């Protein structure tokens, strides 16, 4: 089955493709689907709203099943920010480095024990026949005092996974793809998708 990932993020495409690799799914990017110029305004107030909007928009444009992920970082000390604004925390054209720098500045002087937060991922799927799925995964952790590690993307160098006491960027993709917020959401997603399609794992 062909599905279009409603994202232009190559890191996200690889991560989701890897996690769904044993299912009979051909995941293609928006560029490959001829939607490289499509801009989807993420104006929802929740990860669920943004994720489903992306999936439905791409599905309607292509008449193909579309999968979307909306994810971000919630920091308790900042009242849940950056949240749905994670990708553009430091501005519309912000780089990962810009966002990480702003987050560290916002938490300057905040002690380690008050730097708790979580990564959130909501995976949504929209079929042309109207069937929809939306599932959430979360991963608890602490925001580091400084950037550590070179693997991953986004806030990975700042997010310390409590169980391992290392950042996602230090742990590497093999471990991250088993324990991350996206891994947890995709695990639920796989189960629901198999039920929806009548497949057996």
Q: What pLDDT digit, counting tens, does each position of 139-192 carry?
A: 999 999 999 999 889 999 999 999 999 999 999 888 998 999 999 998 998 888
What is the three-class DSSP state of 143?
strand
- H or E segment and range at residue 54: helix 47-62
Longest CA–CA separation in the chain, Å? 53
How far CA 87 is from CA of 91, 94, 164, 180, in Å, comes to 9, 7, 25, 17
70 catalytically annotated: yes
Q: 5: pLDDT confidence band, cut at 50, 70 and 90? A: very high
Q: Which domain holds residue 85?
A: 2-197
What's the pTM?
0.88
Cβ atoms of 171 and 161 closer than 8 Å:
yes
Cβ atoms of 86 and 155 closer than 8 Å:
yes
Task: Indicate which CATH number applies to the domain containing 167.
Answer: 3.90.950.10
Which residues, 6+ apart, have CB-to-CB distance to 44 below 8 Å? 50, 53, 70, 84
Percentage of the residues of the chain whose pLDDT score is greater than 70: 98
- Count: domains in the chain: 1
Give the active site residue among 70, 93, 96, 98.
70
Which residues, 6+ apart, have CB-to-CB distance to 201 below 8 Å? 23, 190, 194
Q: What is the mean pLDDT of residues 27-50?
A: 94
The CA distance from 30 to 167, in Å, is: 30
């Amino acid at each position: 089955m062909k599905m279009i990932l409603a994202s232009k993020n190559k890191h996200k495409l690889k991560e989701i493709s890897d996690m769904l690799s044993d299912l009979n799914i051909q995941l293609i990017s928006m560029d490959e689907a001829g939607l490289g110029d499509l801009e989807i305004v993420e104006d929802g107030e929740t990860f669920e709203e943004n994720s489903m909007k992306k999936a439905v928009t791409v599905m309607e444009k292509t008449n193909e099943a579309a999968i979307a992920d909306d994810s971000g970082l919630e920091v308790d000390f900042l009242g849940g920010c950056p949240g749905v604004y994670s990708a553009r925390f430091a501005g519309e054209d912000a780089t990962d480095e810009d966002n990480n720098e702003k987050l560290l500045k916002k938490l300057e002087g905040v002690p380690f024990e008050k730097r708790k937060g979580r990564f959130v991922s909501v995976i949504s799927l929209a079929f042309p026949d109207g069937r929809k799925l939306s599932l959430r995964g979360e991963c608890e952790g602490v925001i580091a005092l400084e950037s550590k590690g070179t693997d991953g993307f986004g806030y990975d160098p700042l997010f310390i996974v409590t169980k391992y006491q290392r950042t996602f960027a230090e742990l590497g993709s093999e471990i991250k793809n088993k324990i991350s917020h996206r891994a947890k959401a995709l695990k639920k997603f796989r189960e629901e998708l198999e039920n929806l399609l009548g497949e057996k794992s």
